[in-house]
Structure 1
Amino acid sequence: MKIKNKMRHCKIVIAFVFFFVIQNIYSQDMRINYDMIYKEDSLSTETVAKKMVLLVQNGESKFYPEKQYEVDSLRASGFKGFAVGDHDFYVIKNKQNTGSKYYFLLRDVYRITEPVKLNWKIQKETAKKYGYTCQKATVDYKGRKWEAWFTQEIPVQEGPYIFKGLPGLIVYMKDAAGSYEFSFTALKKNFYKMELENISPKPLDISLANLKKVFIDYYNDPFREMKSGNVKAKFKDEKGNDVEPDFKEMTKNLQNSLRKNNNPIELSEAIKYP
């Protein structure tokens, strides 16, 4: 009986040590890469592919395009030249369980901050994905039904975009309409670390209603700043000769493009353009 008790005690100790080691490994900062595929136009079969990065630092996280991460890394290391980034799907989640979403328009950056409320339903179904044992979970979020797969082998309650709160890292997500898909590609412990909100100019806090108004105003007159002379821009033809811009035609083309971009990830918050 004493031997059995000792063996049971040893198993408990080993389990606690293993749990401590695993937690210690994944409690540190990390970079997680995802492939993202989505449809901008719900009426089209065309998709857009982006490589995305989830940075986890000091209990907070940042999700945004890898292209922008590379630009930020260059600038943080002292680079002063011109570099084109990508600000789509830009989200920062903090320790207080709130999420900030950033919207870049012309020379301004707008920030909406709200609690991250996700009513996850964990299913019994399991599967092997990307070499990890994963479990299925579902959630409804702002007009979309999502299926997610998470692994407790990476005990970080994080995931792509605004999604978090499961007992392990989300390695795959797809909405029921097949419009958005996130796929895990890599986890790195060594990466260039920087302040998460290293955004210039300083973001302007705004409500969702006012943000929609900003985008509607832009839709109605997208080249107002250029026409007024507040923003200087030169227009050239294919031969490099200066030409007078046709703002009416440019406005029409841009408005057509904005109307086609009718399939945002937060479907219930889609802007209804005229």
Structure 2
Amino acid sequence: MKKYILIAIALFLFLNVRAQKGEQALVTVFYRFHHLKDSLDKSNLYKERMVLWIGKNASVYKSYDKIVNDSIKKTTVQEDGKGGYIINTSNRKKTTVDQIFNYPSDKKLIVLDKLIKTYAINETYPDINWKIGQDTILLSGIKCQKAETTFKGRNYTAWFAPDLPYNTGPWKLCGLPGLILQAYDDQNEVAFMFDGLKPAEPLESIVVPSVAIAASPADYHKLLNLLRNDPSAFFAQNEVNGVRLSPNNPEIFKNAKKRDNNPIELQP
């Protein structure tokens, strides 16, 4: 693990690529994400593996399970009774779609999400008032220091690594003098637990897709509310390459609002 830390620091100091044009990730950090989405069903804790790709000027946080889903299709094979076989693609695990791009030097935060079309939502950069404590722990041999804050309506405890000089972390948590390896709220409803670190692979790059439509948070929430409250109207006004789509079960979108009654962000 110490070898990986030295590699990460060396790459951080060596490379000089502008994030906005896309850059090669230097370090890959894995997290186990837990979230109690439905406060009325505390036995049903949502779990997902997440990943943070870190470059010199930027980072992107996304679903690792989605990356796996997109690269491996789960299939079942059965005979068709005519000497051949039928291959059925099974339903894959539900994963987080949005990605969070963090540009610390430019104080810029972009949330990439997909509502049929892909949107790049320019959010206000997090101004998090951290209280850094003296307590320390080791996470996989990496020395971490304690910090606490209140952010988006939740009280968080975070553990950051001063030896890893990256001003970023999981989700929208950032602003500490070192990489945030672990964080959780005081109600045990949201947690980002450290699950490993390694040098990034050559194909792991940080770039906002050129097809993404720039949107303000207000515009995006209008679209999201339309989808949840009137799915048929939402699909009617959103065509892809001239093709109008329609949901086979509009109630799925309406029920999502009821199930996810305990969002990560309790306040703006």
Provide TM-score, normalisation by structure 1.
Answer: 0.71
Task: Assess if the C-alpha contact under 8 Å between 2:152 and 2:266 holds in 1.
Answer: yes
Distance 1:223 1:256 in 2: 14
Specify the code of the residue in structure 2 equivalent to 1:53: V
Deviation at 1:163, TM superposition (A): 1.4
| Count of matched residue positions in the alignment of Structure 1 and Structure 2 | 228
Amino acid at match of 1:223: S
1:26-64 CA distances to partner (integer Å, 9 max, x unpaired)?
A: 546111111111121122211111111111123210000
Q: Residue in 1 aligned with 2:33?
A: 36
Compare the two structures and name the one with the higher helix fraction: 1
Separation in 1, partners of 2:142, 2:232: 50
How much does 1:136 deviate?
0.8
CA distance in 1, matches of 2:101, 2:199: 19
CA RMSD of aligned residues (A): 3.2
Residue segments in structure 2 that go unaligned for 5+ positions in a row: 1-5, 15-25, 73-88
Change (3 A) 1:128 1:137: same
Q: Structure 2 residue aligned with 1:124, among 108, 128, 134?
A: 134
Aligned to 1:107: 117
Shift of 1:133: 2.3
Give the aligned residue type for 2:177: P
Aligned AA (2:264) = I
Within 5 Å, give how 1:1-274 maps onto structure 2.
Answer: 23-24=9-10, 26-27=12-13, 29-45=26-42, 46-69=44-67, 86-94=95-103, 95-199=105-209, 201-206=211-216, 208-224=217-233, 230-232=243-245, 250-269=249-268
Q: Aligned equivalents of 1:71 and 1:170: distance in 2?
A: 26
Task: State the distance in 1 between where 2:66 and 2:36 align.
Answer: 21
Write the distance in 1 (CA, Å) between the matches of 2:201 and 2:167. 20
Maintained 8 Å contact 1:89/1:161: no
- The 1:128/1:57 distance shift into structure 2, 3 A limit, reads closer
Instruction: Using the TM superposition, give the Cα deviation of residue 193 of structure 1 relative to its aligned residue in structure 2, in angstroms.
Output: 3.3
TM-score (norm 2): 0.72
Inter-partner Cα distance in structure 1 for 2:8 and 2:250:
55
1:110-133 deviations in Å (ceiling 9; x for gaps):
413322211111012222333222
Higher relative contact order (CA 8 A, sep 6+): 2
Which entry has the higher C-alpha Rg, 1 or 2? Answer: 1
Structure 1 residues 225-266: Cα deviation after superposition (integer angstroms, max 9, x where no partner): 667895356x9xxxxxxxxx6xxxx33443122222122221
Contact 2:62 / 2:99 at 8 angstroms: preserved in 1?
yes
Change (3 A) 1:200 1:67: farther
**Contact 2:161–2:179, Cα closer than 8 Å, also in 1:** yes
Task: Supply the AA of the counterpart residue of 1:98.
Answer: K
Shift of 1:96: 0.8
Q: Is the 8 A contact 1:87 1:104 kept in 2?
A: no
Distance (Å, rounded) in 2 between the aligned partners of 1:149 and 1:130:
13
The change in CA–CA distance for 1:27 and 1:213 in structure 2 (over 3 A counts) is: same
Q: Which has the higher strand share?
A: 2
Following superposition, the deviation at residue 215 of structure 1 comes to 1.6
Cα 1:58/1:69, change in 2 over 3 Å: farther
Q: 1:134 to 1:66 in 2, by over 3 A?
A: same
Compared CA separation, residues 227 and 37, structure 1 to 2 (3 A): same
Matching residue's letter, 2:51: V
Separation in 2 of the partners of 1:202 and 1:126?
A: 41
Deviations 1:55-80 (A, max 9, x none): 11232100001134457889xxxxxx
Q: Could you say what secondary structure the match of 1:139 adopts?
A: strand
Q: Which runs of 5+ in 1 are unaligned?
A: 1-19, 75-81, 236-244, 270-274
